Amino acid sequence: MAATGRTREERALRREMLFARYDEMGANALEDNELLEILLAHTTASDDTEAVAERLMDSFGSLPTLLGASPQAMVNGVGVDESTAILIAEVAPLAARMKLPPSSGVYLKTSQAAGEYAISLFTHDKMESFYVLFLDARKRLVATELLGRGTVDEVPIYPRRIADLSIKYRSESIVLAHNHPSGLLSASSRDYVSTVAVRNALKEVGIRIMDHIIVGDRRYYSFAEKTLLNGSGE
């Protein structure tokens, strides 16, 4: 029976059966659309979560494509409410965060190590975001902070906030990291100016910038490898 042909009682019974199967056998016992139904049961205003899941899967073609879509694309393309779209869009970034190694065991002694770590931060990120990686004297990562999230091509940067956090974490150096959702791997004049502004703020507290990493299309661009940090006074 098609999802739209079920009565309210049948829809409720189906959800109970899905929850029971998930509880007993785990996620691998459910199809992609069934897992999506379980997620939707906790957010969408519609009680016909099967029909909503069908529309989403039909529109985006696969679960990975759906999870990589922006909330606005779900709202405009399928008509789900905004809170539902945001919840679905957050699944992939949360899963990516779970795969990150703990800070206590990560050493970023080279631009390659910093670049690979930065790539893991921006998986499925459709907006431009800005992170700061705080390192101790041995180049061990002591903290990773998301300090800004903006539009598809711009995010605000606050040098004084970075300096204050560097003092808080007792950092010897930091790595700046942001993404270009367009995939373009090059530093803009704005990227260079912001790096200089952060460097000047850190100089007052005796902390240096080890690198500024730009991530795009699962690749990285390093200011240090391009010797751009030398030009900004490092």
Tell me the CB-side half-sphere exposure of residue 231, using CA atoms within 13 A. Answer: 11
Rounded average pLDDT over 147-157: 63
Q: Which residues contact 60 (CB under 8 A, 6 or more apart)?
A: 66, 69, 77
Instruction: Kindly tell me if the per-residue pLDDT of 226 is higher than 60.
Output: yes
Inter-residue contact 230 to 196 (CB < 8 Å): no
Instruction: Enumerate the β-bridge partners of residue 209.
Output: 174
Identify the band that residue 148 occupies on the pLDDT scale cut at 50, 70 and 90. confident
Rounded average pLDDT over 7-23: 87
Q: Give percent of the chain above pLDDT 90.
A: 35
Instruction: Kindly tell me if the per-residue pLDDT of 56 is higher than 50.
Output: yes
Structure-model confidence comparison of residues 156 and 226, the more confident one: 226
Instruction: Kindly tell me if the per-residue pLDDT of 175 is higher than 80.
Output: yes
Nearest 5°: phi and psi at 177? -150, 125
Inter-residue contact 85 to 182 (CB < 8 Å): no
Inter-residue contact 167 to 142 (CB < 8 Å): no
